[in-house]
Amino acid sequence: MEETQTPEQVQQHISAAFDSVNLINDEITKEVTDNRKDTVKRNYEHLELMIAKDWFEAGCTEQQVTDINTCIAAGKTYVA
């Protein structure tokens, strides 16, 4: 059973997710290093976990979902 979140908690999770989006987008513009790959991978995996939660996706706008999914794809490409 999936946990229940208040609207405020959902917004906090969305804000934290966009911290990951911003971090990934920043890191993928830099020289590829093992440390950066690890950082990007941890963050896109976190985004994958969050976007899979019904309450999380329901709290996002369509554009936010698109931005997160685009970021996940970019992170995977960077790490590959």
E strand or H helix at 72, and its extent? helix 62-79
Cα–Cα distance between 29 and 58 in angstroms, integer? 30
Cα–Cα distance between 21 and 4 in angstroms, integer? 24
What average pLDDT score do residues 17-24 get?
A: 98
- The answer to whether position 1 is within a domain reads no
Q: What pLDDT is stored for residue 2 in this prediction?
A: 65
Q: How many domains does the structure of the chain reveal?
A: 1
This prediction has a pTM of 0.92
Q: Can you give the residue range of the structural domain that contains 59?
A: 7-79
- The answer to whether position 20 is within a domain reads yes
Nearest in space to 56 (alpha carbons), one of 7, 1, 21:
7
What average pLDDT score do residues 39-62 get?
A: 97
